[in-house]
Chain A
Amino acid sequence: MKAWLPSLLRLAVVVLLVAFVTNPGWFEPLLKPLTENNAPVIYNQGSLLTLTLLHLRTVLIATVAATIVAVALAILVTRPAGAEFLPLSRSLVNIGQTFPPVAVLALAVPAVGFGEKPTLIALFLYGLLPIFENALTGLTTLPASVMEAARGAGMTGWQRLTKVELPLSAPIILGGIRLSVVISLATATIGSTVAAKTLGEVIIAGLLSNNLAFILQGGLIVAALAVLIYDGLSAIERYTVRRMGREAE
């Protein structure tokens, strides 16, 4: 494959995505064959752009919160003071991953009510696990010689953490964040079953009125967002790998 082809494809996806969410009317003839009985072709109960931005906002808030908590926890259990919690936290992560997102979402409703909040909770909890796991891997697999050198150079515990351990683990932690974002982007659509304003609204409207055009546009926007964000984060990751000389896995 030629080197410029992926970049060109990426650019095409960006252009199409922006054009679609800002001017969905242009694409009406393309989607028209998918509808029956003169049903509306483009989602008409809200602007696609607003829903896309709300969708991204929900994912962003949940991911930022999950990153802060997961990395803080991983740092805590890898310090001597928190070492006692390490085996337990490992098994909790394993257990946590078996909880289906729909169940988390539905169970959060009685506690916080309908709307954006249960979605944020589900995305936050679900996003925690990959980031925590990767942060733990990153912090526990540092080369012993590097740690030794840092100690020998007279660095304090805090300096070692911020100047050596975290920068060296950054690529692996980023890998976890990337995984978590892609999962969250898709899971956020389920949030619309509990009345959160996300792109899931478009898909569910399509399911309820048997309108394939709605399902397709909602699904494709989310998929395009996920592919682009995945690519973007992978690029950042490769950049940090080059700087740190360490790779995930």
Chain B
Amino acid sequence: MTPRLDKLGVVIAAISAYAAFAAPFATFRANRIVPGQARSIIEALPATTGPLLLVIIVVAALIALFKTPLALRLAASVVALAALALLIGIAGTFLTPAGNTFARISPASGFWILIFAFTLLLADVLTRLNLSPLARVGVLVVAALAIGLLLISGSWNDLSILKEYANRADSFWAEGSKHVTLALGSLLAAVVVGLPLGILCHRVERLRAGVLNVLNIIQTIPSIALFGLLIAPLGWVAAHVPGAAALGIRGIGTAPAFVALFLYSLLPVVANTVVGLAGVPRAANDAARGMGMTDRQRLFGVEFPLAFPVILTGIRVVLVQNIGLATIAALIGGGGFGVFVFQGVGQTAMDLVLLGAVPTVALAFAAAIILDAVIEMTATKRRDETA
């Protein structure tokens, strides 16, 4: 019997073969802004580990290529990813000339493509395993712990992105907390205002089209313009309303960014509240009325719980979108990880761009997985209860 090929495996094997043998594994640069020189896996790693990595990649790619049991595929992808993560750190140490603090080693295209290929394999296995929401969050936590351990152990310290971090450790955490505050704070404000507004729109039909149209139009204003346009009114408020300046309201900085994110967040929250409430079955409402529930009891006891998963979906959209948009706040002095992105673009220092972009993507990704899991759990709970 000839072993059968896995279609996705063919893709994974092809791109990992290219990445392992034809693309550079790491880039060596004499300092942080000069163009780099490419290093292959064999050149970038000590004599024994280079071939070892190649063997791991070839074996993992072969496991992906043929139809193999899911457990084996899971192990292959995890081992390959772990080996890549560990060895890129070793490449950083190996390639840095002793005592040289200017040289920069960064992962090159081959490394990223290999990571992509085996993440694809892992994602495929996880999708086919059809994990429960809690298990998915568990996988996320394990991955975060593994990355955290690698960071704490210092094995990545010779990579250029961490050298950029070492130069800015304090401001990194300050900007990071600003980023999270902006994204979460504006979400919270949007929920506090958007939920009642959504309920109002649901109850008063005449309001609905008008409110949703206005919110829709706000969404079409490009984010950098909206950020900029809020500078003037907030500056005026700061200058003319007593106490406003003391509260931190200023023309530039965090205040306009916060208000802009809040305005963008309103539409998904309000629209999903309206859709969720409209989707409550008539029978449920009639039964509640028949039981003699007051309007308020009906809202909190029947309509709201039934609409909750839909409203949560809106909150998920907002949170992921806000984490991304908060990067733009840096353009108007609002802080956040965007500071590093735009500084890096300005200095053509790509490692600095990565220092801002990687945590942003990681945050958005984690937020999406966690909220998806919560949405699925509330939706299935609801179904079990009504069934």
Q: Which residues of B contact A95 (CB under 8 A)?
A: 123, 365, 368
Q: Smallest distance from the beta carbon of B31 to chain A beta carbons, Å? A: 16
Q: Smallest distance from the beta carbon of A51 to chain B beta carbons, Å? A: 13
Contact A222 B120 (CB under 8 A): no
Q: Smallest distance from the beta carbon of B345 to chain A beta carbons, Å? A: 6
Contact B123 A100 (CB under 8 A): no
Given known contacts A98-B368, A216-B229, is B341 in contact with A103 (CB within 8 Å)?
Answer: yes
Nearest-CB residue, chain B, relative to A210: B231
- B75-83, B196-204, B218-226, B300-308: which lies at the interface: B218-226
Q: Which of B335-372 contact A (CB under 8 A)?
A: 338, 341-342, 344-345, 350, 353-354, 356-357, 360-361, 364-365, 367-368, 372
Q: Which residues of A contact B386 (CB under 8 A)?
A: none
- A143-151, A161-169, A181-189: which lies at the interface: A181-189
CA distance A90 to B222 in the complex (A): 28
Total interface residues in chain A, CB < 8 Å: 48
Contact A106 B220 (CB under 8 A): no
Nearest-CB residue, chain B, relative to A82: B7
Contact A219 B228 (CB under 8 A): yes
Contact A218 B225 (CB under 8 A): yes
CA distance A103 to B345 in the complex (A): 11
Contact A109 B345 (CB under 8 A): yes
Given known contacts A207-B224, A227-B220, is B232 in contact with A102 (CB within 8 Å)?
Answer: no
Nearest-CB residue, chain A, relative to B346: A193
Contact B341 A219 (CB under 8 A): no
Contact B221 A223 (CB under 8 A): yes
Assess whether B90 is interfacial by the CB under 8 Å rule.
no
CA distance A88 to B123 in the complex (A): 7
Contact A99 B225 (CB under 8 A): no
Q: Smallest distance from the beta carbon of A182 to chain B beta carbons, Å? A: 6
Given known contacts A106-B345, A222-B221, is B361 in contact with A98 (CB within 8 Å)?
Answer: yes
Given known contacts A107-B354, A186-B222, A226-B220, is B360 in contact with A100 (CB within 8 Å)?
Answer: yes
Contact A100 B225 (CB under 8 A): no
Contact A193 B360 (CB under 8 A): no
Given known contacts A109-B350, A223-B217, is B229 in contact with A88 (CB within 8 Å)?
Answer: no
Contact B222 A219 (CB under 8 A): yes
Contact A85 B7 (CB under 8 A): yes
CA distance A92 to B117 in the complex (A): 12
Contact B222 A102 (CB under 8 A): no
Given known contacts A88-B124, A106-B353, is B364 in contact with A99 (CB within 8 Å)?
Answer: yes
**Looking at chain B's contact residues, is the secondary structure mostly helix, strand, loop, or mixed?**
helix
Nearest-CB residue, chain B, relative to A227: B220
Assess whether B310 is interfacial by the CB under 8 Å rule.
no
Assess whether B265 is interfacial by the CB under 8 Å rule.
no
Q: Smallest distance from the beta carbon of B263 to chain A beta carbons, Å? A: 13
Q: Which residues of A contact B357 (CB under 8 A)?
A: 100, 102-103, 106-107
Nearest-CB residue, chain B, relative to A107: B357
Nearest-CB residue, chain A, relative to B332: A207
**Contact bitstring B110-138, A, C-beta under 8 A = 1, else 0:** 00000000001001101110000000000
Given known contacts A91-B127, A106-B345, A193-B345, is B220 in contact with A203 (CB within 8 Å)?
Answer: no
Assess whether A97 is interfacial by the CB under 8 Å rule.
yes
CA distance A91 to B112 in the complex (A): 19
User: Which of B228, B341, B345, B356 contacts A206 (CB under 8 A)?
Assistant: B228
28 residue pairs A–B, Cβ–Cβ below 8 Å: A87-B127, A87-B128, A88-B124, A91-B127, A92-B123, A97-B368, A98-B365, A100-B325, A100-B357, A100-B360, A103-B360, A106-B353, A107-B353, A107-B357, A110-B350, A182-B219, A186-B223, A190-B222, A199-B222, A200-B222, A203-B228, A207-B331, A212-B229, A215-B228, A219-B226, A222-B225, A223-B222, A230-B220
8 more contacts with CB within 8 A, not counting A95-B368, A103-B356, are: A88-B8, A98-B367, A102-B327, A107-B354, A109-B353, A110-B350, A210-B231, A223-B222
Closest 9 CB pairs of A and B: A219-B225, A100-B324, A226-B220, A215-B228, A103-B357, A189-B222, A186-B222, A98-B364, A102-B327
